[in-house]
Structure 1
Amino acid sequence: MRASRPMQRLIVYVCRFLGKPLEYPRTVSEHTLRLKFVLGFLGALFGVVSGATPDTTVERIAPGSLPSSMKEPVVLVVNKADGDEEVKAAGDNIVGVVLLQELPHLSHLGVRARQEKVVFVTCEDDDTIKNMRLLEGKHVRLGASSNNVDLSVVSNKDDCAAMSSEPSAGGDLFAQQFSLLTTDKKLELSEQKSYTSVANGMSGVLELSEASIESSGAKAAACGTLSVLSSMSNKVYNDQGTPAAFRVPAGAVIPFGSMEDALKKSGSIKSYTNLLERIETAQIENGELDSLSSKLQATVSLLSPSEEIIESLKKTFDQNVRLIVRSTANVEDLAGMSAAGLYESIPNVSLSDPRSFGAAVGQVWASLYTRRAILSRRAAGVPQRDAKMAVLVQEMLQPDLSFVLHTISPVDHDPKLVEAEVAPGLGETLASGTRGTPWRLSCHKLDGKVTTLAFANFSEELMVLNSGPTDGEMSRRTVDYSKKPLSVDATFREQFGQRLAAIGQYLEQKFGSAQDVEGCLVGPDIFIVQSRPQPQ
């Protein structure tokens, strides 16, 4: 890999542990970027770039936040993130982010950064941050590996060009390692390179096993496949004899076309169509896009599924069971567009309260038209009228632990290692930009050796109470780590890591590619709620 073409290469994504500063001046040549450094502190980003206005300021990473005059590759140092940022949507020239808060490596923001080929590191060390201030306006080298992060000054552009003209040490090895991840052997679910056009929607409700990409989107189809694989998993063991058994929560799908049916029945289809046509070319700068986006969301969020749909769902779920409604679109995880966390999921609803349940479904439908979703589709060349949303309805679990599992190490790209991040309670802690560190486990696929990379320090865990309102809200509880086996019981930690590795291997084999897996532990059982191709 030649560093002279950093924006065209896979860049290592790595975060630092709490209290571990960025290291100077060591160089990781095979993962080096020669970039312009743009600093941002106290919630703002300050750009000082040759040929640009030196006092350029934006409040957050968002589409249009960087001035068009900034043409050179830039690294942003950002004080805080909420997890909803779409890095490349703020500027195609952003190739590195230093976030001044700790967060899970496999969070939606971290996954999107990897999909967008952006170096992404975190730092909370005050001295290091102070040193970074001194680099404002300078050309720098930013490199990252699993062992260290290198941020150092390059004297001038000519030096950058001279260094970039030589092959990077270890570049061939890195390319060979990456090639192991780009196998063509994939299931249909892993091959969604373009969106599926939906000409005629369906009505009613589909069983989870009946879900397909055409009727329900890739997420629901993958969950349907998971339900089939789950039924076979109790007979599967890896080479060390560790079971790959897992369960899948009960589910059903409100398919594509149901939202459009609701629009017709409500008499709002004409205004909806008009707004959709106008938003295709709406401008960002004058607020036109934001206004139309708000109107579209307001129109759609008032919708509810039909009584027939509610009655059909009652045949799958007990009326009093708590449910989660999840987005599943025909425009998720497409080539050129990251979708992690792009659309809404609403927990803690119930068919016993049809009004709240219907409102939650309306919120999921409406999330198709958030500002970020619209701009993401625009950047990927997907017409807004072609975007469709189905709703995946699943039983709400009460997990002791939730995890995100990558079946190939996201830092070292080692195909022999799986890596998991684990949080207490519900998985939203991992998916969002929650400040803190999860448990991090790495397990070797060949010998089952589990390495603990970090211990969790989240102050609170999210949960849904068995009693109380089914209003789409979650409760918070202070975490007592002295009662968490993953912190105090090394044997439990090893066995849990080995079980995750066995399940990860099984899913990787069945789907035919590295997987990004979400799941949880409920009592003795591991549940898998989602599996999709791991971003490379």
Structure 2
Amino acid sequence: MTEQYVWDLNEIDETQVAVVGGKAAHLGALSRIDGIRVPAGFCVTTDAFRRIMAEAPSLDERLDRLSRVDPDDREAIRTLSAQIRRTIEEIAVPDDLAAAITRALARLGEQAACAVRSSATAEDLPTASFAGQQDTYLNVVGPTAVLQHVSRCWASLFTERAVTYRRRNGIDHRTVHMAVVVQRMVFPHASGILFTADPVTGNRKVATVDAGFGLGEALVSGLVNPDVFKVRDGEVVAKEIAAKERAVQALADGGTREVAIEAQRQEQPALTDAQAVRLVQLGRRIEAHFGRPQDIEWCLADDGFQIVQSRPVTTLFPVPEAGDAENHVYVSVGHQQMMTDAMKPLGLSVWQLTAMVPMHTAGGRLFVDVTRRLAAPASRA
């Protein structure tokens, strides 16, 4: 049965992370949100990855050794992970699996330029994003090149940084599997990242847009400083326009390259204010769908904005559930008592049952809502 190896993105939703990985599950969900455009594509499932891993019994012993390595022993991790990657890349893709991938590719256009992107099962999770831990390949053209880069994505589950990240987060290498997303390539004028909550201040009502010219790799790799727009209540409330000296662009025959931006264009904004506001409106739809602040990768081409990834923002401290959209001020009970550590569930329950006022939980801590007392002059002092 070849159906289990390749699924179209619009067949996928968030419940299928075990089969398609975090990135593909989110892309499938994004494609269903009204007004959100996602580049067409398909996913090579984790069943295909498991089949490839079973083709090389020698990997078992190396994975055992990798699970025992000290996460601070960079040399041992580097050596072992390189051996595992090389072994995976050298495994020939079985004919029926290659045929299933090629058939899916033909629906996009056999010589269409594609992005080939890793989608691990431990990726884009609510508590650990794994951002940048596995590999993405842009502007890949033709079935032979796509198959080769699918193999590279499978192998990228064992990059040195991904292995170290899993070891430090206590995640067993054998429990993580790799799916691969293949999407039609977008050739954008501008691209970047949208945070639907300000990642510096934690303010959920201020969205931050980072923008640069060309492909988003220039921003992700730190090649350029982005323009930064801060948007609140449908208007740009602050912006910084950077001197963007370089960009990454796609080549006509495949692959990408760095290019210099002409001097008179370097300090032009990558987006207009209206475009930044429109992008944040799309971001709010995505945030509402997933129910938490999002870190969103976007592209702007001739036909408008396309969304190429959305993951939870994992660095924000959680806030108590309020049940409304109003502003609230909370006081941390633990910090008042010089108890700064998170509390155990039993402790939280006892305090909530015995306290004189309602206590709300977030991040393993208790908070009292003092909004009404601060709003009244008599109790404010």
Following superposition, the deviation at residue 357 of structure 1 comes to 1.8
Tell me the residue number matched to 1:269: 56
2:244 is aligned with 1:458: yes
Given the alignment, which residue of 107, 112, 117 partners 1:321? 112
Equivalent AA in structure 2 for residue 293 of structure 1: S
Q: Residues of 1 paired with 2:278 and 2:126: CA distance? A: 31
Tell me the residue number matched to 1:526: 305
2:48 is aligned with 1:258: yes
**1:217 partner SS:** helix
Tell me the residue number matched to 2:209: 420
For residues 478-503 of structure 1, give each alpha carbon's deviation from its aligned partner in whole angstroms, at most 9, with x where no partner exists: 11364579539xxx612111101211
Tell me the residue number matched to 1:342: 133
Aligned counterparts, 1:96-175, within 5 A: none
Tell me the residue number matched to 1:386: 175
Q: Residues of 1 paired with 2:288 and 2:74: CA distance? A: 49
Tell me the residue number matched to 1:375: 164
**1:228 partner SS:** coil
Following superposition, the deviation at residue 452 of structure 1 comes to 4.4
For residues 250-286 of structure 1, give each alpha carbon's deviation from its aligned partner in whole angstroms, at most 9, with x where no partner exists: 010000021232344xxx4211122112211134549
2:23 is aligned with 1:219: yes
2:199 is aligned with 1:449: no
2:121 is aligned with 1:330: yes
Structure 2 residue ranges without an equivalent (≥5)? 317-381
Q: Residues of 2 paired with 1:439 and 1:290: CA distance? A: 36
Given the alignment, which residue of 19, 32, 40 partners 1:228? 32
**2:166 partner SS:** helix
2:70 is aligned with 1:288: no
1:399/1:274 Cα in 2 relative to 1: closer, same or farther (>3 Å)?
same
Whether contact under 8 Å (2:5, 2:44) holds in the other structure is yes
Aligned counterparts, 1:455-534, within 5 A: 455-465=241-251, 467-468=252-253, 470=254, 473-480=255-262, 482-483=264-265, 487=269, 493-534=272-313
Equivalent AA in structure 2 for residue 280 of structure 1: S
Aligned counterparts, 1:292-303, within 5 A: 292-303=80-91
Whether contact under 8 Å (2:23, 2:124) holds in the other structure is no
Aligned residues: 307
Following superposition, the deviation at residue 474 of structure 1 comes to 0.8
Q: Residues of 1 paired with 2:294 and 2:147: CA distance? A: 32
Tell me the residue number matched to 1:62: none
Tell me the residue number matched to 2:38: 248
Q: Residues of 2 paired with 1:381 and 1:202: CA distance? A: 33
Which has the larger share of helix?
2
Following superposition, the deviation at residue 334 of structure 1 comes to 4.2
Q: Residues of 1 paired with 2:73 and 2:22: CA distance? A: 33
Aligned counterparts, 1:85-104, within 5 A: none
TM-score, length basis structure 1: 0.54
Given the alignment, which residue of 198, 217, 220 partners 1:431? 220
**2:203 partner SS:** coil
2:101 is aligned with 1:310: yes
Following superposition, the deviation at residue 302 of structure 1 comes to 2.1
Structure 1 residue ranges without an equivalent (≥5)? 1-200, 234-245
Tell me the residue number matched to 2:228: 440
Identity over aligned pairs, percent: 29
**1:430 partner SS:** helix
Q: Residues of 1 paired with 2:199 and 2:74: CA distance? A: 40
Aligned counterparts, 1:191-202, within 5 A: none
Following superposition, the deviation at residue 333 of structure 1 comes to 3.6
Q: Residues of 1 paired with 2:206 and 2:263: CA distance? A: 27
Equivalent AA in structure 2 for residue 499 of structure 1: R
Equivalent AA in structure 1 for residue 231 of structure 2: C
Following superposition, the deviation at residue 415 of structure 1 comes to 2.1
Following superposition, the deviation at residue 524 of structure 1 comes to 4.2
Q: Residues of 1 paired with 2:145 and 2:280: CA distance? A: 38
Whether contact under 8 Å (2:242, 2:267) holds in the other structure is no
**1:257 partner SS:** helix
Tell me the residue number matched to 2:345: none
For residues 174-199 of structure 1, give each alpha carbon's deviation from its aligned partner in whole angstroms, at most 9, with x where no partner exists: xxxxxxxxxxxxxxxxxxxxxxxxxx
Q: Residues of 2 paired with 1:496 and 1:481: CA distance? A: 23
Following superposition, the deviation at residue 462 of structure 1 comes to 0.5
Following superposition, the deviation at residue 451 of structure 1 comes to 3.5
Tell me the residue number matched to 2:349: none
Tell me the residue number matched to 1:206: 7
**1:377 partner SS:** helix
Following superposition, the deviation at residue 522 of structure 1 comes to 0.1
**1:223 partner SS:** helix
**2:87 partner SS:** helix
Whether contact under 8 Å (1:328, 1:391) holds in the other structure is yes
Q: Residues of 1 paired with 2:306 and 2:284: CA distance? A: 15
Whether contact under 8 Å (1:337, 1:379) holds in the other structure is no
